[in-house]
Structure 1
Amino acid sequence: MEVVEKMLILTSLLLISGVCVAVDKTVNGGVGGTVELPSELGSLKVEDFRFLKWKFNNTDIAEKFSDQTDVNLHAQFKGRLQLSLDFSLTVRELRLEDSGEYQRVGLKEDGSQIPTYKIQLQVYEPPITSVWIQSEYTWDPENHTCAVRLVCSSSGGLRPSYTWRMRDQTGSSSRLHFFLSPREGNVTITCTAANAASQMSRNHTVRCIPTGDQTTGNTSAHIMTSAYIKI
């Protein structure tokens, strides 16, 4: 299509006022996932249009002029958009910043505009589904204490942060290292994993009880783990 003809079509679209929104639709997706935004052309075919466009927050992201089709017109979506034969739009590898308003607009061959179809896409971070604590204990014969090393991990959610609570102390890390003497008895540590969508905690109770020849570094510790605590 000639540049002048394209400009005429765009100008005619801009002159049309009072565009009616035929349908409002909300689509939800998770970070890293894929969604399809339907074009809702009804009985019309792509060939019935001079042009069709998808906009994201009023910025062109995909378009079809006659036999020419361009996608990924916005740097944010580079390599992540795909148009189907009916002009439905697939968005892959979803990001939080993909949340917003998507509009399908079009101008038929006779110069009339079809109602704009608007879709609100909301992208969520996936929730954390489990939390677990790995532990390692070593007897320190010089100080007569157990060196305790804990590592907190989680699954499901993206970019989790970790916090620890032990007695009246707190820390922000996925790892915790401390010394525990046998006379302190049971000590419960809580690890909480959190992201924008959820948070989940797990308790880990330890007790230092050295056995055997302490000079060799042999030790044992009672380990008790509670159920998950989802908040």
Structure 2
Amino acid sequence: MLAAPDLRLLMTFKWITRRSDWIIFIIVFAEFSYATIILNGTVGTLITLRPTTPLPEVEAEITWMKNDGTIATNTQGVILDKLKDRINLTTNGWTLTIKHLKKEDGGVYKRIAIPSAGDQIPTIVIDLQVIDLPVIVFNVSKWREEGTCKIILQCNTNNVTTTNHTWIKNGEIITHGQSEKLEMSLYPGDKDINFTCLVSSPVNNATASILESCKGDFNLVIIISGIGAFIVILIIILVFCIKKKKKAQQFENKPETLYAVVNKRSAPVSEVDMPQCPTIYDIVRMERNQIQN
């Protein structure tokens, strides 16, 4: 025969067993009542907090809470003064609209409804995540390699995660994915090539463009090389002219013999004139002869 405490324990177990279906229903209902809805909003935009299910058509006392603090009711309106100009209750308080979203508007919101009569209305829990507008900043690296312009474009965004990057060159999509960098080769003559970076965030998109060219560096090298070569040629001609002039002066200062005087008087005038400076062709020919010798 069971003792009194054991008998009470057995009776309690039987009672729980018979009502197990009701206990499971209560647990499931409680879990359903506090199902969390995740919403994403963007700084500066408008968002309406409402469940995905149809709104109840009953009279109820409705309270909106944020992070366990009451912010509005359908009887008193918006309670916090700092939110009165940005929060509106719509549809008799069943939905809440926030204008000009700010980062601090993010948080967990609850809609608690107590009906005047009828069945209990589930509590709605909404997790609002406010995301900054993507701001794109380009980081450009350029260098010359094997007659081309190598460029690396990096599309940086501020505080935006889980994004996709689409790179567009002159209106044509060339790559799409997670990479924020683009490496390209441009050729001499490529001018004002338009590169566009499209950043896709969970709630919006942002684009930015930049123009790149591959001509100035190469033209500058050609111009500098040409000027340098011209200066070198002028210096060579000047040196040869000075040498010729010195040789002519040394020749005139030597004592002339009778044979030299006779030859000088009988020579044409062009042969005794001052030697002329060599031309570029003369310099090239003399340099070639020196190399061969």
Provide TM-score, normalisation by structure 2. Answer: 0.39
* Larger RCO (alpha carbons 8 Å, 6+ apart): 1
Provide TM-score, normalisation by structure 1. Answer: 0.48
Structure number with the higher helix fraction is 2
